[in-house]
Amino acid sequence: MQGRNAEGTLYRPLTYRAKTPSYWSRKDSPTNESLVDTRKPLVEYFIQEEGLSIRITLHNFPANSLEERISPQSQINRWKKQFDPLVAETIHTSSLAKGGFSGLFFEASGLQDQIETTVLGWSMQLSAEHFRNLSHYAEEAYRQMRADYTLKAVGPSDLIFKHKFSIIEFANSFELIEEIPSST
């Protein structure tokens, strides 16, 4: 999966990889479209079944300094606000770390556009040590590597529950293609 293009160019460096089941469909952003706006997803996956659909989106948030980054909790708070209403008892948040990133896993159900919806989300931030190491490299590819990322699966609760395992497997296999250089 490609990262975002920098301002003034449409080149998107290959940044991430993950294992996806063959029955998922993938939609990439058009190559002639700029993805500088971080609200645009890098890639979308769809799990379609009986006219219903789960949408899985990947966003990343390149930053030039540690201070610029948004905390994973802020992303989760934003996701909570997308429910109207959110069923408080269904909220589950847990910490996790993998591939050099640490962050939060979020699961919640509620109504979105009057439809019973469940969200599975991962909001991950690169460790400060890795971020500093990658900051020494000028190329855009490294800026993409040090970006925080979010993975979010949104869909009807029943369908999410049915495919939860494969979505979690996908998120667990998600990682940077390149190793993060070490400082030693």
Residue 4: how many other CB atoms lie within 10 Å: 24
Closer residue to other proteins (CB): 41 or 100 = 100
Which residue's CB is nearer to other proteins, number 53 or number 93? Answer: 93
Query: Least CB distance from residue 157 to other proteins, whole Å?
Result: 26
Binding flag, residue 102, other proteins (CB under 8 A): yes
Question: Which one among 10, 97, 115, 177 touches other proteins, defined by CB under 8 A?
Answer: 97
What is the radius of gyration, based on Cα positions, of the chain? 16
Site for other proteins contains 66 (CB under 8 A): no
| Residue among 44 and 175 whose Cβ is closer to other proteins | 175
Q: How far apart are CA 132 and CA 129, in angstroms?
A: 5
What is the CB-side half-sphere exposure of residue 55 using CA atoms within 13 A?
Answer: 10
CB count within 10 Å of CB 135 equals 15
DSSP 5: P
Q: How far is the CB of 41 from other proteins (least distance, A)?
A: 23
At closest approach, how far in Å is the CB of 168 from other proteins?
13
What is the side-by-side order of every strand in the sheet holding 101-112?
25-28, 43-49, 52-61, 148-156, 115-126, 101-112, 92-98
Which of 38, 61, 99, 166 contacts other proteins by CB under 8 A? Answer: 99
SS3 call for 36: coil
At closest approach, how far in Å is the CB of 180 from other proteins?
4
Q: Which residue has the tokens 């030039």?
A: 64
- Position 177 contacts other proteins (CB under 8 A): no
- For other proteins, the binding residues in 109-128 under the rule CB under 8 A are 126-127
At 145, list the tokens.
Answer: 């590597």
Residue choice 16, 45, 79, 101 for contact with other proteins (CB under 8 A): 101
Instruction: Write out the residues near other proteins by the rule CB under 8 A.
Output: 94-104, 126-127, 129-130, 133, 136-138, 172, 175-176, 179-182, 184
